[in-house]
Amino acid sequence: MSKILTSFPIYSNPEVIKPAIESLNCDKFFVINNPKLAYLAQDYPHIINKKNNYCNGAWNQAMEYFLQGDWDYLALGSSDVIMGRDWQNKIPTNPKEVFVPSYVEKLEWLNKPYELKGGVAGACTIFPREAIKMVYPIPKQLKLWFGDEYIFTKLRNLGWKIMQAELTAYHYGSLSIMSNPRSMRIIKEDKKAWEKLKI
């Protein structure tokens, strides 16, 4: 059986984070971007940032932790995603593919896997170890957005596919971003930085 590590940044909305953590039936590692919510991860390995390291910085910290261990897959995402039942047993093992869940309004079985083209939201993505080695680290100039686009573009350029898997998840939708009044300004800066990157 594959060894899976799951991780997401913790910043706001504790009422959503608790069920999100409970839906992760495998090893966990959390990056705390708001020390006041550190209690949510007290039973799991975690790191507490004194100031908000934003989504992409937290993903880099999670990827670094993952690469120091012996896990086969990293499920990397957002704190407002609740994974469907037995999701960890439904991860395909196809070479050169990463997977995103089928997002549903209710947590039910959905469609067969198919390749996703164009932009893909990175609310939750499951990466084989080989993929993480290829994409870590996300450039520091990308703080909140475009980290997923950076990862997917780099992998596609190397011949990988982004697949929608049969496993399901429910996504509340950008709750951490909406809770930060500086998010829109940071996203504009990220857009400019992304447009300058050559990958």
CA distance 42 to 28: 11
The whole-number pLDDT of residue 111 equals 42
Digit-coded pLDDT (tens) for 75-90: 999 998 989 888 999 8
Both tokens of 22, joined, read: 């409970």
97-103 and 27-32 beta bridge pairing: unpaired
Task: Compute φ and ψ for 68, nearest 5 degrees.
Answer: -80, -15
Give the pTM: 0.83
Q: Pick out the chain residues at pLDDT < 50.
A: 107-112, 114
CA distance 27 to 45: 9
Handedness of CA 193, 51, 23, 131 (dihedral sign): positive
Share of the chain above pLDDT 90, in %: 65
C-beta of residue 71 within 8 angstroms of C-beta of residue 4: yes
**Structural domains of the chain, ranges and CATH numbers in brackets:** 4-196 (3.90.550.10)
CA neighbor of 9 nearest in space, from 84, 59, 74: 59
